[in-house]
Amino acid sequence: MTINFDARKMAAELYDGGFRPMFIGGQWVASVTGEVSESHDPATGAVLATVPLSSAADVDLAVAAARRAFDGPWSRFSPYERQALLLRIADLFEANWERLCVSDTLNMGMPITRTLANKRRVVGMLRYYAGMATALHGEVIENSIPGEIVTFTRKEPIGVVGAIIPWNAPTAASIWKIAPALATGCTVVLKPSEDAPLTPLLIAKLMQDAGLPDGVVNIVTGKGAVAGARLAEHPDVDKIVFTGSTATGQAIARAGIANLKRVSLELGGKSPVIVCRDADIDRAVPIAAMSVFAHSGQICIAGSRLFVAREIHDEFVAKLADFARGLRLGHGIEPDTDLGPLISPRQAKVVEGFIASGQSEGAELITGGSRLLGAPYDKGNFITPTIFGGVKDDMRIAREEIFGPVISAMPFDTIDEVVDRANASPYGLAAGVFTQNLGLAHKLTRRIKAGSVWVNMYHAIDPAVPFGGMKMSGYGREGGAEHLYEYLETKAIWIQTD
């Protein structure tokens, strides 16, 4: 992708280490305690900005603002007016796309070429939900009760939505939560990850510029254990939407029990990629590699369990390793960077622990597996793209979500065997299949237990197509009409007319 603007200059203009307030009730505010936290560039360790470290009291203020808006002016917005607002937001996103992408790249490390490439997905999401805002309706239902009784349903907004997002895709994750809420007439309190809180604040400013009424969207920055926990348990929050780890998702589900709030969870994964013996190897290698390496493995759908038909296993893995060795690591703001840093020193240590585990359990380190040190990497969190061979299904690297650039390559002999092994995981978020046999492709997509299955491709996400997981990868869907129904209540109405 050609970069036709000065990304480094824009980066310097965006963040200078100064204070960035949070957004509550249409106002830019500090935490009630005055506490702040630093937000860092994971490639250099530099402080980009400081943000409020919100307390439970700050969350309470944000929820109260969202409730006032829901019960007040926002409730009087017609579907057409909500649609018009979303379209104005979409136009501002398009006009400011480079700024949003630079912000994402600086704060969480994804290469700028990849953040820029998400434009169709994110702006398209806003316009898709804008279109859906005027398409929501109930239905007239014929009933069997004697007499002249009319029955019909209404679709009504669920209320105040608490949204908790991860650090690995701040722009896309924010819009995936906010856009359907606005389309349906809900209000939102969004809590971004403490590791990458900056872009959601920029998003709030764009929405304010588009004419968003006060309190409809609120952004509280802070730690998950404090602000996130309070949002999850808050008695005046009607629904929680969360993307993140399975362990945190379980805690959020438990916290919502007190007031039986609706909960949607998009959680972890350990996605299988199956390369059949008739696959186009040269096409499959880069796709399989980048199914994991695209964001240094920091994606929930990373295809980190690679099953390759034994007949082509050695050739495939050799080409995969050559491809991995050719990837360039560097600061995400540079246009020739293929892999950026891991989000934090903490996450780098976690990944290093998995690599050490793979070696100690007897897996063969084919390539990578090292921390990059020395200039210009010494202050960042860079780990080389890593491929293990000789992996057994019961090894940690084959069972647990790593969230790092690590692929476990394993041969298989039969289709029945590989389906059983692919499904022998508590996760069920995504999967990939490579084959030139259309019948085999259909057979595998039916039998694999995953919310999304890609054939001869990977990573495709579209606003109109549902996305979400099975098993311990969560419940609920994002994308498509199913996503909107997650934000709506169905009310049945009975009228006796005789």
How distant is the alpha carbon of residue 297 from its chain centre? 13
Q: Residue 376, preceding bond cis, omega within 30 degrees?
A: yes
Which two three-digit tokens encode residue 350? Answer: 């976690």
Q: Which of 98, 233, 300, 334 is catalytic?
A: 300
Where b means 16+ CB within 10 Å and e means fewer, 408-423 reads bbbbbeebeebbebbb
Q: For residue 41, give the nearest of 189, 167, 154 by alpha carbon.
A: 167
CB 86 within 8 A of CB 46: no
Give the max Cα distance, the chain.
84
Catalytic pick among 98, 194, 233, 266: 266
Q: Is 300 annotated in the active site?
A: yes
What gap in Å lies between CA 396 and CA 410, rounded to an integer?
Answer: 14
Half-sphere exposure of 398 (CA within 13 A, CB side): 23
Cα torsion 43, 46, 47, 49: sign:
negative
Nearest one of 234, 125, 218 to 173, comparing CA atoms: 125
Whether residue 266 lies in the annotated active site: yes
The residue type at 437? N
Cα separation of 425 and 472, whole Å? 9
What values do phi and psi take at 215, rounded to 5? 85, -10
In angstroms, the CA 241 to CA 226 distance is 17
**Structure tokens that stand for 25 in this block:** 């009730």
Known catalytic residues are 266, 300
